[in-house]
Amino acid sequence: MKKVVSIMLVLVLILSMASIETFAMGKIKGVPPGLAKKGYLPHGVVKKFVDTDGYEWAEKAIEKMAIKGVIKGYGKGKFAPNKPVTKLEAIVMALRVMGYEDEAKLDLEKVKKGNKKLKYKHFVQTWAYGYISLALEKGILDEIDLLDFNLKEPAKRYEVAKYIIRALGLEEEAQKYMNEDLRFIDKGAIPLGTVGYIYLSDKMGIIQGYPNGTFLPNKPVTRAEMAVLIERLDDKTKSEIDNNEKYAEIINIDDDKLILKINDKMKIYNISEDVPVYTLEGKYVSIDELAVGMKIKIYLNDEKSIIFIEIKEKEDADTVIENVYGKNDLIIDFDDIKVIFDDDEHNKHDGDHNGDDND
């Protein structure tokens, strides 16, 4: 069944750590240090990381999230795909993907100037003040979480599920599924009080189990895995900051130009031979693989040049979370769950539970 989620909330942006190198008009440009918000880096295309061989299952997600400023490397083309993400990194990424980057920056300045109190400043680096302040305000973290919270500790799978579901504003829904009988064979290892988060993240197709039927709740999440999880969440969110993403059909290819049909209109875009192109299966291919008639999804920079291409058969049809400012309705329709929030009154309407899980 087509999954549709419509969220009327303020969405935002994602964090990441380290530096990215990008191409602008085919030339390499360094990106200034600092935290890039979701949206697009000012110029060009991300240089392909040199240490992602063997991670083909995550390579598309890594590169796509990098060009969108979601994740960064460690300089010299290194991404460190097998390095665990910390709890702080996971929280900031969750905030960014949901669109709270600007608010986090405002909170940082307020805390630094003493205009806003942050109870836990003693164990937080200055740059993270705004993120922790906002995570507490938005309910991504609570007082109980912070009792034994180690920001530098690797984030476990059940913790990432909790951060993401809370960032989506679904805490109350998660509480209603805390006694759900999960489908995983290692469900007994899932910590008390986290079942609802895992249930919803599984149903939304964001954090699911392994082919052998396990969930491995206590397994640390690597940077490669986090890139995939964040890409899934990003694919399921839609807001005005995604206006630089367009679905198109290739009408003609002329040297360094693509002629595309977008919403029944013809558009011409400049394209560099260095632009990353990925197939539907996530395989990295040469731009020469593009052909007339292909359906693609293009990503544009601020100069409206193409910086990333995905070959698609159709538009993403899974769960879509759509931000509409000024409204506060929320409708979630999964395979066997329907949730309707109206005017901030959270009322759950259950569909018939058929017990089927579609992976």
Report the DSSP pairing between strands 277-278 and 306-311. Answer: parallel
pLDDT value at position 334?
47
Averaged pLDDT score across all residues of the chain: 76
Neighbouring CB atoms inside 10 A of 184's CB total: 19
**pLDDT band with cut points at 50, 70 and 90 for residue 264:** very high
46 sits in which H/E element: strand 45-46
Q: What is the mean pLDDT of residues 49-78?
A: 87
Tell me what pLDDT residue 10 has: 30
CATH topology classification for 245-311: OB fold (Dihydrolipoamide Acetyltransferase, E2P) (2.40.50)
349 or 235, higher pLDDT? 235
* pLDDT score of 80 more than 50: yes
Mean pLDDT of 79-90: 93
Q: What is the mean pLDDT of residues 121-133?
A: 87
Residue 330 pLDDT > 90:
no
The pLDDT of residue 243: 64
Strands (E), 255-329: 257-262, 265-270, 277-278, 284-285, 295-300, 306-311, 321-322
* Stronger pLDDT, 190 or 119, i.e. the higher one: 190
- Where are the CATH 2.40.50.140 domain residues in the chain? 245-311
- What is the rounded average pLDDT of the residues 13-39? 30
Nearest CA-CA partner of 86 in 160, 191, 167, 6: 160
pLDDT at 98: 79
Least confident of 1-15, 35-49, 55-69, 82-96: 1-15
Residue percentage of the chain with pLDDT more than 90? 43
Four-CA torsion 310, 311, 313, 319, nearest 10 degrees = -10
Task: Please tell me the least confidently modeled range out of 64-73, 79-88, 145-154, 231-240.
Answer: 231-240
Q: In this predicted model, what pLDDT tens digit does every residue of 63-76 receive, in sequence order? A: 988 888 778 788 88
**Residue with the larger pLDDT of the pair 291 and 333:** 291
Residue 178 has which token pair? 């805390």
Reply yes or no on whether the pLDDT at 11 is more than 60.
Answer: no
Task: Give the pLDDT band of residue 266 (cuts 50, 70, 90).
Answer: very high
Count the Cβ atoms, other than its own, within 10 Å of residue 92: 30
